Amino acid sequence: MTRKHKIILFDGVCNLCNSSVNFVIKKDKNDVFRFAALQSEIGKQYINKFNIDPSQTDSIILIDGDKHYIKSTAALNVTKSLKGGYPLLYAFIIVPKFIRNWVYDVIAKNRYKWYGEKESCMIPTPELKSKFL
């Protein structure tokens, strides 16, 4: 398990999640992030290590050293490390968490219906393989 990089655990069969991972990879010019599907062995190890209930958050978890973030807090913390104007999105952290997570939960609950799902986790291309754990 790496300490040098922040780790994004994502739903490997969710099209929205996969698109989001591809977006982060494109904007991660400082090579900050590594990725693993929640369904993978390494994903399960992190879930166990941080005692995370996957029934409460099943779409994104951000691991940053000894800390972990879920739902909207995870997504907003990811934006801080991206290039361009995306770190400005972190300003939404001032919105109360129950409001941010309500919006997040509505999207997460409907992500398969709105964006579809894959039959299996994404397999990274050879060029991207080093970004995945």
Residues 50-76 have pLDDT tens digits of 999 877 777 789 999 999 999 999 999
pLDDT at 118 over 70: no
Could you give the C-alpha distances from 97 to 21, 76, 103, in angstroms and in order? 23, 11, 10
CA 71 – CA 60 distance, rounded (Å):
6
pLDDT given for residue 123 in this prediction: 63
pLDDT at 13 over 70: no
Is residue 62 exposed (0-12), middle (13-18) or buried (19+ Cβ within 10 Å)?
Answer: buried
> Using alpha carbons only, what angle is made at residue 29 by residues 87 and 115, rounded to the nearest 5 degrees?
70
pLDDT given for residue 15 in this prediction: 75
Mean pLDDT of 26-39: 92
